[in-house]
Structure 1
Amino acid sequence: MRSKHGNLMLNFVLTLFVYFRNRSSGKVSLGGRINSRIRHDALERIIGEGDRNCIWELRMNTNAFANLCELLQVQGGLCEDGQVSLPEQVATFLIILAHHKKNRNLQVRFCRSGETVSKYFNKVLKAIIRMQNLLFAKASPVEEDCIDPTWRKFKVNLNGLCM
């Protein structure tokens, strides 16, 4: 009876030893492969099943999303570093902005830590800021002789307001 418990305990200890040794040596464990599959499936549900889900989740179609990813990579300097793919970085950024999602929601959805979600959100944001001249339209003032009736409502005489 005692030897059965001893063998069971020995097997348990050996299993833990092999698991942690593989984990520390950089090999992908079973948990890493499962999480990777979950991440891939989550991204595939957003951009791989057609424009309907992509527009719903990211507020743009798959073609616009692919163009944005390429633009951020080429012009904005955004890159993959082996941890998170470029489409996943951009998708998490857009989901946070489009749906006012919290970091915690994306941790669960993509099986990432809060630190990872925050880090890559900031990386995409910095890439977009670097490209602001290309992405954002420059505002132009309304001309004095504008005939559009909507702008006449906003004309203010500052002489009457000053003291």
Structure 2
Amino acid sequence: MDSDTTNSEDNVTIVDFLNSSDDDEEANIFVQLLMSLTNRLNRQPRHNSALTGREYALEQLYGHPENMFEICCMHRDTFEAIVRLIQDRNLLPSLSISTEESLMMFLRTIALSDRNREIQDRFVHSGETVHRYFVNVLTALSALAPDVIKPPNMNIVPPKIRYNPKY
């Protein structure tokens, strides 16, 4: 019973101290600063994966082919061909994230409809970095589109359609 009384008395004195007059404003600020520092010391990092984003991308790229296809909806040889095209034309700034990692973040976002937060957690990058590289890859792929996507010749009717009475 004594400990309850002492504990409640301590709480009352702390509350009284925090609710004190303007003369004790400096003491209030000091207590708030100490509480803030204590909270900061007890924080855990959000992005604490064992693999970095690059390591994860390489693990998926050179791991089981089905994993690669499930994440990117693309086979490894196609993925590597796109990476080579982007690198050959210097379409992505090579700052701190590799072309493979950037493209995998982009494809995972598009293929799996992952949100920015999910990409941050998986690739261990900030939301701003994920967004910046998403835009960079989108711009690079848009620059490749005229050379890679060839529309069919609309003046020629394929024989399969021409000779089929259904059409």
Normalised-by-shorter TM-score class? 0.5 to 0.7
Letter aligned with residue 147 of structure 1: R
TM-score normalised by length of structure 2: 0.60
Gaps of 5+ in 2: 1-44
Moved over 4 A (4+): 142-146, 148-151
Distance 1:151 1:127 in 2: 42
* Residue type at the aligned position of 2:143: R
Match of 1:131, SS? helix
C-alpha distance in structure 2 between counterparts of 1:151 and 1:101, whole Å: 42
Shift of 1:81: 0.9
Aligned pairs for 1:110-121 within 5 A = 110-121=123-134
Residue of structure 2 equivalent to 1:79: 93
Aligned to 1:147: 162
1:101 equivalent among 105, 114, 120: 114
Shift of 1:106: 0.2
Report the RMSD for the aligned CA atoms in angstroms. 3.0
Mark the CA change 1:139 to 1:100 in structure 2 (over 3 Å): closer, same or farther: farther
**Against the structure 1 CA distance between its residues 118 and 67, is the aligned structure 2 distance closer, same or farther, given a 3 Å change threshold?**
same
Question: Which residue pairs with 1:137 in the alignment?
Answer: 150
Residue 100 of structure 1: CA displacement? 1.5
In 1: Cα distance, 2:123 partner to 2:134 partner: 13
Q: Relative contact order (C-alpha < 8 Å, sep 6+): which is higher?
A: 2
Q: 2:53 aligns with which of 13, 20, 39?
A: 39
Contact 1:58 1:98 in 2 (8 A): yes
Check 1:148–1:56 CA distance in 2 against 1; reply closer, same or farther (3 A cut): farther
1:39, CA displacement in angstroms? 1.9
Residue 70 of structure 1 deviates from its aligned partner by 0.9
SS of structure 1 residue aligned to 2:101:
helix
- Higher mean C-alpha deviation, range 38-47 or range 87-96: 38-47
Work out the percentage of aligned pairs sharing the same amino acid.
22
2:120 and 2:130 in contact (8 A); partners too: yes
